[in-house]
Amino acid sequence: MGARDPVIVGVADTALVEGKMAAGTTPLSMQAHAAKAALDEAGLRVADVDGLLVAGAWGQPRPGNMMPIALAEYFGIRPSFADGTNIGGSSFEMFVGHAAMALRQGMCEVALILYGSDQRSARARTLGGRPTYYSLQYEVPWGQPTPLGSYAMAAQRHMHLYGTRPEQLAEVAVSAREWARLNPAAMMRDEMGIDDVLATAMIADPLRRADCCLVTDGGGAIVMTTAERAADLDGTAIDVLGFGESMSHITIGAMPDVAWHTTAAEAGARAFAMAGLTPGDIDVAEIYDSFTITVLMSLEALGFCGRGESGAFVADGRTRPGGAFPMNTNGGGLSFAHPGMYGIFLVTEAVRQLRGEAGPRQVPGARVALAHGTGGTLSSGATCILARR
């Protein structure tokens, strides 16, 4: 390892009850508590933070349109590096990469990645309240349920081209639930089978209620520093071996191929190339699951199976606890929590798995993990590959 190689030294997420944050919490105080917890874990202080990377949906239009500044004030710090780029739920995998570059370049020594959302408590996910300006004027007036309808259109096309079946989509939700049953922090822990998923209401064909992620509050923090700095800290540093990002569209009509997750393919290929690894090297995968179809298309695009083969890939329970391909081991956005932008939890869970701290859901001997985020309506992809030395 080189002195300035990037490592993750602390992670935290916000405890929820029934998907909600504790009374008296705000998205800002949530991020402060998560930051303190992640920094404590690393043996670092708020005053050490000189890189701040944050995305979210709070405080719109102001001060949330300038999140790094708003949080610098709230924390009482003056970062020398900031990133407030929002590419949707994948922003946090992108941030791991951007923080890695900033650390290598010497732009900062301790980078803090933050997320906080009060979406469930505030009932903020109003699907009908979307504006109709710019390219949205070609979607919203036709009653497109966003984002659900766009994922449904992708699923419909995937089923048409490849014969993907509803029970194969359902398997993604069932697998997530099986993992959630091992995670006391997960919101949804009741037993659920394929037939239970198929019995839930159709919302936007071919997607049913149980094909859709939860709507919860939630927040988290990731602390990164250099290998040199980490050598002086307690705890297990997790190496960032590779990362990549790609983005293509805001409206589903402009997606390069509605049945192929182009940005995931590009981000994943860049991350694997940087890491010098292949899909076969991954011990545990955390794959953004806003909807069940998101996972199937990501598995193909990242190279874990061939194009059109994802339905069969998951169908034998391969991704469930004890299966050959452990995936979404905290229960995912489908059963753990989904505060609107889920991506930070892909990384916190991957780090816990690599440290061997995941308790009943621990994947034995996990050394290399992949976290892949998808943002918008299959609009962006960002991948990072993490490893325990």
Partner 1 sequence: MSDKPLPTIDPDSAPFWAACGEGRLDLPHCRACARPHFPPRALCPHCHEVGCDWRAAAGTGTIHTFTVARRPAHPGFKDEVPYVVALIDLDEGVRMMSNIVTDDPDAVAIGQRVEVVFDKVTDDLTMPKFQRID
Write the single-letter amino acid at 217: D
Closest separation between CB of residue 270 and partner 1, Å? 23
Q: By CB under 8 A, name the one of 59, 63, 145, 317 that touches partner 1.
A: 145
Count residues contacting partner 1 (CB under 8 A)? 38
The total number of residues shown for the chain amounts to 389
Are 4 and 103 spatial neighbours (Cβ–Cβ below 8 Å)? yes
Helix (H) or strand (E) holding 228: helix 227-230
Binding to partner 1, residues 252-311 (CB under 8 A): 252-254, 258
Closest separation between CB of residue 258 and partner 1, Å? 6
| Span of 1-9, 45-53, 199-207, 308-316 interacting with partner 1 by CB under 8 A | 199-207
Binding to partner 1, residues 200-229 (CB under 8 A): 201-207
| Span of 86-94, 146-154, 286-294, 369-377 interacting with partner 1 by CB under 8 A | 146-154
Torsion of CA 270, 287, 389, 3, to 10 degrees: 50
Q: Which two tokens stand for residue 69?
A: 């500044």
Between 160 and 389, name the residue whose CB sits nearer to partner 1.
160
Helix (H) or strand (E) holding 287: strand 284-287
Q: How far apart are CA 349 and CA 83, in angstroms?
A: 22
Are 126 and 116 spatial neighbours (Cβ–Cβ below 8 Å)? no
Q: Which two tokens stand for residue 211?
A: 């094909």
Nearest in space to 382 (alpha carbons), one of 14, 85, 30, 64: 85
Write the single-letter amino acid at 124: A
Helix (H) or strand (E) holding 369: strand 368-375
Q: How far apart are CA 302 and CA 255, in angstroms?
A: 17
Nearest in space to 334 (alpha carbons), one of 170, 202, 131: 170
Between 87 and 258, name the residue whose CB sits nearer to partner 1.
258
Closest separation between CB of residue 168 and partner 1, Å? 18
Closest separation between CB of residue 231 and partner 1, Å? 48
Q: What is the pattern of x (binds partner 1, CB under 8 A) and - over residues 96-135?
A: -------------------------------xxxxxxxxx
Q: By CB under 8 A, name the one of 24, 76, 123, 142 that touches partner 1.
A: 142
Closest separation between CB of residue 150 and partner 1, Å? 8
Q: Strand, coil or helix: what is 387? A: strand
Between 242 and 340, name the residue whose CB sits nearer to partner 1.
340
* 153 lies in the binding site for partner 1 (CB under 8 A): yes
Q: What is the pattern of x (binds partner 1, CB under 8 A) and - over residues 358-377?
A: --------------------
Between 24 and 131, name the residue whose CB sits nearer to partner 1.
131
DSSP symbol at 332: I
Q: How far apart are CA 333 and CA 257, in angstroms?
A: 24
Between 140 and 180, name the residue whose CB sits nearer to partner 1.
140
Are 333 and 213 spatial neighbours (Cβ–Cβ below 8 Å)? yes
Q: By CB under 8 A, name the one of 9, 34, 55, 140 that touches partner 1.
A: 140
Are 86 and 66 spatial neighbours (Cβ–Cβ below 8 Å)? no
| Span of 144-152, 213-221, 321-329, 348-356 interacting with partner 1 by CB under 8 A | 144-152
Closest separation between CB of residue 144 and partner 1, Å? 5
Contact residues for partner 1, defined by CB under 8 A: 127-135, 137-146, 149, 152-154, 156-157, 160, 201-207, 251-254, 258
